[in-house]
Amino acid sequence: MRYYCSNLILILHLIKMLTDIHTHLYHFTNTEIKNIIDKSLARGIQRIITCVHNRNTLIKTIPILKEYKNVYISIGVHPQVAFVETKEYGEFILIMEKTIDAAVAVGEIGYDNYPGNPPLESQKKAFIKQIEMVKQKDLPLIIHCRKAFDELFQDMQKSEKVILHSYSGGFKYLDIAIKKDFYISFSGTLTFKRSRRLKKIASLIPLNRILCETDTPFIPPETEPVSLQSKPEHLDLVFQSLVEAREEEEEEIKEALMNNVSSLFDFKRIDRNREKWIKLLEDSLKELRY
Ligand SMILES: [Zn+2]
């Protein structure tokens, strides 16, 4: 009986597991990644989506995909590197066109209006190009947007598969995002005591449009020293902050997050033929000769 009970608890634990929808695992060494995966699973994180934004980050990510079957890739030119006149940009767009089916999402793409980033016109060209590229695909878009929500909303129509990752648009853009049916994802920022406005925002979003992420290795949660990196194992701290911000019960919120993730990402399509998709990624690198 005791055996039966512990198995049942294990099964329930496995069923109710979360997905970290946004990370950058290429920042870590092999040993660190092994630790990250082990600790994440122990803390109830079932799957991890990791982003790549250029040839180098793709090269570093392929071995991770080979080793860990619960890691999935998202591909996209990040607005901070969207210099459309460069050889690197042209090269990566070609890689994307060849490999997009190996990904569970496109991103992070969007706008970043901070000094030192590519001009907004260049970011816009890259953004539109990538949206066009995936129009016929059933892939969600993971959007990075800082201080450029007007530009973003001009380009983005109402959609069922758009994720505003690590949302920073405040109350000002919340109504538009909700009207457009966009998903809103919260990262470590939600755990900060001073993030009262963000917690209020988290309480106002329809439950079927909320997501959680860590943006690993960025934005460590409140409990970690600022100098440290975030890891997917911190996802449960983001989740707990979300639970504190909202009125519903913890289980209801967890279930909603799981439903939201499964209506956005088709993990099974990748699982069915994982080796084929990894080979597609590897071949795309071999084919490019410049
Ligand atoms: Zn990111």
Ligand 1 centroid – CA 277 distance (Å): 23
Q: 62 pLDDT band (50/70/90 cuts)?
A: very high
pLDDT of residue 159: 79
Ligand 1 centroid – CA 4 distance (Å): 41
Ligand 1 centroid – CA 50 distance (Å): 9
Average pLDDT, the chain: 92
pLDDT of residue 68: 97
Q: 3 pLDDT band (50/70/90 cuts)?
A: low
Ligand 1 centroid – CA 215 distance (Å): 5
pLDDT of residue 42: 92
With CA atoms as reference, report the closest residue to 117 among 170, 162, 77, 177.
77
59-68, 151-160, 269-278: least confidently modelled range: 151-160
pLDDT of residue 225: 77
Ligand 1 centroid – CA 57 distance (Å): 13
Ligand 1 centroid – CA 108 distance (Å): 7
pLDDT of residue 157: 82
Ligand 1 centroid – CA 51 distance (Å): 7
Ligand 1 centroid – CA 212 distance (Å): 13
Ligand 1 centroid – CA 217 distance (Å): 9
pLDDT of residue 206: 97
Ligand 1 centroid – CA 23 distance (Å): 6
Ligand 1 centroid – CA 6 distance (Å): 37
Q: Is residue 287 pLDDT above 80, yes or no?
A: no
pLDDT of residue 5: 52
Q: Is residue 228 pLDDT above 90, yes or no?
A: no
C-alpha–C-alpha distance, residues 226 and 215, integer Å: 14
Q: Is residue 125 pLDDT above 90, yes or no?
A: yes
Ligand 1 centroid – CA 290 distance (Å): 27
Instruction: State mean pLDDT over 257-269.
Output: 97
Ligand 1 centroid – CA 218 distance (Å): 8
C-alpha–C-alpha distance, residues 279 and 267, integer Å: 17
> What is the maximum alpha-carbon separation in the chain?
67
Q: Which domains does the chain have, with CATH numbers?
A: 19-287 (3.20.20.140)
Residues, CB-to-ion distance under 5 Å, ligand 1: 215
Ligand 1 centroid – CA 253 distance (Å): 23
Ligand 1 centroid – CA 254 distance (Å): 22
C-alpha–C-alpha distance, residues 118 and 105, integer Å: 23
With CA atoms as reference, report the closest residue to 177 among 166, 164, 190, 191.
164
Q: Is residue 7 pLDDT above 70, yes or no?
A: no
Ligand 1 centroid – CA 274 distance (Å): 24
Ligand 1 centroid – CA 132 distance (Å): 22
Q: 15-47 pLDDT, tens per residue?
A: 569 999 999 999 999 999 999 999 999 999 999
Q: Say which residue the tokens 């920073």 belong to.
A: 168
Q: 139-155 pLDDT, tens per residue?
A: 999 999 999 999 999 99
Q: 86-121 pLDDT, tens per residue?
A: 999 999 999 999 999 999 999 999 999 999 999 999
C-alpha–C-alpha distance, residues 66 and 17, integer Å: 22
> Per DSSP, what are the bridge partners of residue 71?
48
Instruction: State mean pLDDT over 166-185.
Output: 95
pLDDT of residue 15: 58
